[in-house]
Amino acid sequence: MTVWLTPHSLAFPPAEDAPADAPLAAGGDLSPGRLLRAYAAGIFPWYNEPPILWWSPDPRMVLMPAELRINRSLAKAMRKDPFAITFDTAFPAVIRACGAPRPGQSGTWITPDMVAAYEDLFLRGHAHSVEAWQDGVLAGGLYGIALGGAFFGESMFSRVSYASKIAFVHLVLRLRETGFSLIDCQVASDHMASLGARAIARRTFLQHLRHAIQRPIAAGRWNEAPGARS
């Protein structure tokens, strides 16, 4: 049975109690405190219209930074050096592009309320974006949340072939260098599997998460020199 959250408490039911493929909880709000508490517990919001639905699926799709896979076609695209890659320079543009209508979809879960909530987290140093630029135009990118040594990927978009994948490769390389140990990809997809992500049991994910968020990696803007090439 889905648990209804009250506006006066930030507490969630244990993620271990969530159904494998149904929401753990509903209601509450998208305040910074609630969102950060949810991510730290292995829970995330995902809904198209009210009420807010909170999920912790089983199995969970993850990518360990050391397991990044770059296949032949992606490596070939990267050798062409097609994009300038930046971090945290265009978060509002990236999240709105991720929420734009896509072929075959009638709506988006990245609602105006979600955009406002994650822009707030960006200003607080918890949400981050990666941008791929081509001739000064935003060609693709992604955004997500960082807590300790865990990164929670939320969404990505491409307007040019390979733009989001190359942005993701740069993200993983940065996470490796700065001590991150876990990338949460949430639900299974062929796109993420092609980059090395794999499905693991929720209990195993939660064990990795508890260790990752304890890493002493401070929140804050990811300052990257403009023009870093792919």
The predicted pLDDT at position 14 comes to: 96
Query: Per-residue pLDDT tens for 68-104?
Result: 999 999 999 999 999 999 999 999 999 999 999 776 6
Burial category of 42 from C-beta neighbours within 10 Å (exposed 0-12, middle 13-18, buried 19 and up): buried
**Is 178 a residue whose pLDDT tops 60?**
yes
Residues in Cβ contact with 109 at an 8 Å cutoff, skipping those fewer than 6 apart: 46, 47, 48, 99
**Which letter does DSSP use for residue 17 in this model?**
G
Helix (H) or strand (E) holding 133: strand 127-134
Share of the chain above pLDDT 70, in %: 95
pTM comes to 0.94
* 122-134: pLDDT as tens digits: 999 999 999 999 9
Tell me the domains of the chain and their CATH numbers: 3-57 (3.30.70.3550), 61-229 (3.40.630.70)
Stretch 156-160: mean pLDDT, rounded? Answer: 96
pLDDT class for 16, splitting at 50, 70, 90?
A: very high
Summarised one tens digit per residue, pLDDT across range 211-223 is 999 999 999 999 7
Report pLDDT for 8: 83
